Amino acid sequence: MQLKPMTDSQFLKYQDLIYRRLGILYKEEKRDMLLGKVSKHMRAMEIEGYDQFFQIIRGSKEDDQVWTDLVDDITIHTTNYFRERNHFDYISRNVETILKSNPRILQRAEVRGWSSACSTGEEAYTMAMVLKDSMGDRATPKVLATDVSKGSVAKAMKGEYRKDIRKDVDPLILQRYFTKAGEHYRVNQEIRRFITFRSFNLAEQFPFRDSFDIIFCRNVMIYFSPEMQQSLLNKLYRALTPGGLLFIGHSESLIGKVHRFQYIQPTVYMR
């Protein structure tokens, strides 16, 4: 099935819908990328008109399969264990300072973390392992792992990864927290029990009743418009407990943005 080129008005309609629902801004330079992803789903459904497919997804609810399948394709899923390792090293090296700045952790004997764009789970599992090792018996990790892609969350919940994770995971950690299962490694229950996985859209209002001690929101803002970035920062600030830490991606910065976070070091901030 040969599809016609997408017109300017059609592109703007898709761009606006994706932005309003997900906060992701597909700029003109990514037009061909969006076209390729949309066309893939149109061919699968044997739909030839962009307007017809647009009407279908515009009328879809957040949990309708046609919309969730498209979201899985148009969102970014690049991740690996111990990605941007210096963030995890920071937690391990500065645990005493973290506990001093945030006395709630010892008061509750619990450290609450949020992997806010967890993709297929590697970041969340890494966070849980690092928090368990660095906190010891003083605080139990309680990690919420969310992503807008339901397909990614489903993969994360399985906790199974190809054997090439050995290039990112130290042999001792691999031996301690994973079980070899054929051509895969499976995260042990010892770590899995610390994590709750959920599908969640960061463009929506945060529903959390309790705040977090550590939030990872890395390599997310780069896909948002300046307005959405500002909104997200405000919500992240409210979601952190006083003395809590925010980690952003190395390709991101809060320079030039209005915020109340205290700068600690590049990509690390404190409420």
Q: What domains can you pick out in the chain, each with its CATH number?
A: 8-74 (1.10.155.10), 86-270 (3.40.50.150)
**HEC sequence for the chain:** CCCCCCCHHHHHHHHHHHHHHHCECCCHHHHHHHHHHHHHHHHHCCCCCHHHHHHHHHCCCCCCHHHHHHHHHHCCCCCCCCCCCHHHHHHHHCHHHHHHHCCHHHHHCEEEEEECCCCCCHHHHHHHHHHHHHHCCCCEEEEEEEECCHHHHHHHHHCEEEHHHHHCCCHHHHHHHEEEECCEEEECHHHHCCEEEEECCCCCCCCCCCCEEEEECCCCHHHECHHHHHHHHHHHHHHEEEEEEEECCCCCCCCCCCCCCEEEECCEEEC
Report residues of the chain scoring pLDDT below 70.
Answer: 1-2
Q: What is the pLDDT of residues 134-163, one digit of tens each?
A: 999 999 999 999 999 999 999 999 999 999
